[in-house]
Amino acid sequence: MRCEICGTKIVGKPLRTKIEGSVMLACPKCAKLGKIQREPPKKAKPKFMKSRPRRSEPAYEVLEDYNIIVREGREKKVWSREDLAEKIYEKVSVINRIESGRMMPDIKLAKKLERTLNIKLLEKTEETSADEFRKSSLKGATIGDIARIKKG
């Protein structure tokens, strides 16, 4: 390897040297011109840890007619859109878009709406794991089989 400053061949290990803000590999003679840097610590190999099976958190899905449910829940409480927005700390435009069906609330917002309006917006969906999917009825099915299933 050659010194990045003077170009001479370095015998042994080059020294990491910081000269005017740049870190370079230098020979011992040129390393005196700057500040010698320590080698970065080597990352320790992670010890093998037994992996615990992950608890599957229930997956939720927003109901299709969420906009009607939210509007009816708000009207049942005799609140204006502004009142509801204030109570759940959202903008009125968000409530307008949800009630008009132009915006589907995310899970967090749907939970806030459920608590505030005492309505049901979310339903649990069953997540099939990869193992369950492999064991499903399509085991051994080919694309042609699926095409026939859809066609028939």
Tell whether the torsion through CA atoms of 130, 134, 135 and 136 is positive or negative.
positive
Instruction: Check residue 50 and give its pLDDT.
Output: 65
Instruction: Check residue 38 and give its pLDDT.
Output: 80
Instruction: Check residue 11 and give its pLDDT.
Output: 85
pLDDT in tens, the chain (152 residues): 888 888 888 888 888 898 888 888 888 888 888 888 887 777 776 666 666 666 666 788 888 899 999 999 999 999 999 999 999 999 999 999 999 999 999 989 999 999 999 999 888 887 655 555 555 555 566 666 666 555 55
Instruction: Check residue 72 and give its pLDDT.
Output: 92
Instruction: Check residue 58 and give its pLDDT.
Output: 72
Count the Cβ atoms, other than its own, within 10 Å of residue 81.
17
Q: pTM, whole model, 2 decimals? A: 0.49
Question: Which runs of consecutive H residues, i.e. helices, occur in 1-152?
Answer: 28-31, 66-76, 81-87, 92-100, 107-117, 130-134, 143-151
As a whole number of angstroms, the distance between CA 81 and CA 112 comes to 15
For CATH 1.10.260.40, list the domain ranges present in the chain.
Answer: 59-125
Instruction: Check residue 81 and give its pLDDT.
Output: 93
Instruction: Check residue 53 and give its pLDDT.
Output: 65
Q: Decide which of 1.10.10.10, 2.60.40.420, 2.40.160.40, 1.10.260.40 is the CATH code for 59-125.
A: 1.10.260.40
